[in-house]
Amino acid sequence: MLNKVRDYIREQDMAAPGDAVIVALSGGADSVCLLTVMKRLDFALRAVHVHHGIRGAEADRDEVFVRNLCERFSVPLFVAHCQVPAYAAERGLSEEEAGRILRYRILEEEAEKWEQELSGGGQVKIALAHHRDDNAETILHHLLRGSGLTGLAGIRPLQGRRIRPFLCVGRDEIRSYLTAEHIDWCEDSTNQSADYTRNRIRSQVLPLLKETVNEQAEEHILQAGQIIGQADVYLRQQAEKIWQMANDMAHNEASRVPVENSMVPGPKEAPDCAAIPLAVFAAQPDILKIYLIRHMLDRLQPGWKDITSRHFTAIAELAGKPVGSRLDLPGGLMARTGYETLEIMRKTEEKPVLDSETGGRGGNAVYQRAPELHMSVFSRQKDQEIPKNQYTKWFDYDKIKGTLSVRTRRAGDYLILPSGGRKTITRYMIDEKIPKETRDQILLLAEGSHVLWVVGYRISEYYKIEERTENILQVTCDGGKDYGR
């Protein structure tokens, strides 16, 4: 037992020399055995026990037991009391989920405190007593619940500072070891309750599979989980490569055409938003689309939860919908289509713009936004004819010294008239009799406060093509026929 666990810790690179370990000690057989084994493997140890405020006298018994056990082993113990039922009720969680959240929070806090005391740069790991049987039950549970590959990979040996040294041993091995060493443990009565799905899988489903289908069912489930885990890691890596490739392409393109916002889109990250070019996203197989969405969620909100396969499918489908279409997600998030990007962001108050198809306000699910602008720069050819198209415009690129932006109007915006004078955009919109309620929705292409183009209307005289123009910026408004007038 000791050799098997020692080898597994080394194989999975769970702890380095100088690291210390906190054992999550409930008093049950698994955690008691974990404390015993880690003690005999000569790790610097502390233990943490969480009293959940449920199970009454039984929970009090467990606390007394772990205090006596740690005193016997000379292991420092921290006991935390919390009220799981109240926490669960306040947040609409099950007691099982609430207990898990509070337990991990306490363990992480204690690990951070101890780490600050260590000298020599060692880390504090949190050892959890999940074992092989737990892993098989988890994989089967996730399969029946409709999980993706990440869930079907089962319990990971290493997650941040959390380690699981017992994934190499089973429940029977653990109890046999404790019995041989004459070490007692506490039985949690809730482990026998049929009210918990995991307990039914443990006591009814897996035994039935082993008896009626294949006595090696548990081993085969674990083997499948290992293979699925390898596939999951590979697909995560591929999504990261695609993200980075799109980012590099955007940087290279941006170095040639200095336009911000949606003009030369690449993967975009901000505290409240992650986005990827629609063209890049659409080119991927369906499975990689799902992993790109996961990658965006990981970057935006690590630890996201409650986003299911149904949500992933809906987000992928959103990429083919009109600009501004959106989808509300759990956890205060939403997905939407930008001008040339698929975006996932934290929800903020947002004012619907005029729906160009209905002439009315957009509903709660879909917002209509301005159409896409596409840009390109090329050298002027002799006798090249300037297009007379309301939604394709040419500009003298050599006159553009700053960075262009695509936005709606701001105070101080202006354009140059054929007479050489300047007119504010506000005055221009009044003169053009643009309805007041739509003026803030009209798209502008601007260099600072100087507006090159009031999209769907006119361009500034200053940026028009002249005889001496050498380089041309072409801007096309995709969907312009439904926009502006």
Read off the pLDDT of residues 268-311 as tens digits, 9 standing for 90 and up.
Answer: 555 577 888 888 999 999 999 999 999 999 888 877 877 888 88
3-state secondary structure string, the chain? CHHHHHHHHHHCCCCCCCCEEEEECCCCHHHHHHHHHHHHCCCEEEEEEEECCCCHHHHHHHHHHHHHHHHHHCCCEEEEECCHHHHHHHHCCCHHHHHHHHHHHHHHHHHHHHHHHCCCCCCEEEECCCCHHHHHHHHHHHHHHCCCHHHHCCCCCEECCEECHHHHCCHHHHHHHHHHCCCCCCCCHHHHCCCCHHHHHHHHHHHHHHHHCCCCHHHHHHHHHHHHHHHHHHHHHHHHHHHHHHHHHHHHHHCCCCECCCCCCCCEEECCEEEEEHHHHHCCCHHHHHHHHHHHHHHHCCCCCCCCHHHHHHHHHHCCCCCCEEEEECCCEEEEECCCEEEEEECCCCCCCECCCCCCECCCCECCCCCEEEEEEEECCCCCCCCCECCEEEEEHHHCCCCEEEECCCCCCEEECCCCCEEEHHHHHHHCCCCHHHHHHCCEEEECCEEEEECCCCECHHHCCCCCCCEEEEEEEECHHHCCC
Q: pLDDT tens digits for 246-278?
A: 877 655 554 454 444 444 445 555 557 788 888
**20 labelled ligand-binding:** no
180-193: average pLDDT = 81
Task: Give pLDDT, residue 174.
Answer: 96
**176 labelled ligand-binding:** no
**120 labelled ligand-binding:** no
Which is higher by pLDDT, 364 or 415? 415
Q: Are residues 329 and 392 in the same domain?
A: no
Q: Average model confidence (pLDDT) for the chain?
A: 83
Residue 166 lies in a domain: yes
- Give me the number of domains the chain comprises: 3
Q: Of 312, 330, 346, which marks where a domain is finished?
A: 346
Residue 254 lies in a domain: no
Q: Are residues 119 and 225 in the same domain?
A: yes
Q: Of 346, 380, 398, which marks where a domain is finished?
A: 346
Q: Are residues 73 and 124 in the same domain?
A: yes
Q: Are residues 342 and 405 in the same domain?
A: no
Q: Are residues 430 and 477 in the same domain?
A: yes
Q: Are residues 337 and 379 in the same domain?
A: no
Which is higher by pLDDT, 145 or 75? 75
Q: What is the CATH number of the domain that holds 84?
A: 3.40.50.620
Q: Are residues 335 and 467 in the same domain?
A: no
Residue 110 lies in a domain: yes
Residue 248 lies in a domain: no
Q: What is the CATH number of the domain that holds 301?
A: 3.30.465.60
422-446: average pLDDT = 87
Residue 359 lies in a domain: no
Q: Are residues 337 and 411 in the same domain?
A: no
**412 labelled ligand-binding:** no
**449 labelled ligand-binding:** no
**30 labelled ligand-binding:** yes
Domain of 293 in residue numbering reads as: 265-346
Q: What is the CATH number of the domain that holds 424?
A: 3.50.40.10
Q: pLDDT tens digits for 3-19?
A: 999 999 999 999 887 88
Residue 255 lies in a domain: no
